[in-house]
Amino acid sequence: MMSVLPYSAAELETAMHLEELKEPSYTWVRLAAKQMGMGGDDSWGSPVHKEFKIDPRKPIRLTFVISPVAER
């Protein structure tokens, strides 16, 4: 999973409306080797289904390369 956004997670969480976000002056790149399911079958605290859980005993390796792109 990855995302590239002009706002930090904190900025997005605290803003109630788009107009509360300041003019972006940077880019946030977030990389995750794995992502566990968002929840169970409802939004009231059901646990994640077993097949979607991440086993903390198994090592996870994430590699990536950032390289420049020529401007057009």
Number of domains in the chain: 1
Q: For residue 46, is it within any domain?
A: yes
Q: For residue 20, is it within any domain?
A: yes
Confidence of residue 72 (pLDDT cuts 50, 70, 90): confident
Please name which of 12, 4, 3, 6 lies closest in space to residue 25, comparing C-alpha atoms. 6
Alpha carbons 66 and 68: distance in angstroms, whole number: 7
Q: Does residue 14 surpass a pLDDT of 90?
A: yes
Q: For residue 43, is it within any domain?
A: yes
Q: For residue 28, is it within any domain?
A: yes
Alpha carbons 2 and 26: distance in angstroms, whole number: 17
Q: For residue 63, is it within any domain?
A: no
Q: For residue 23, is it within any domain?
A: yes
**33-68: per-residue pLDDT in tens?**
888 766 567 767 777 788 888 898 999 999 989 899
The boundaries of the domain holding residue 8 are: 2-52
pLDDT above 90 as % of the chain: 49
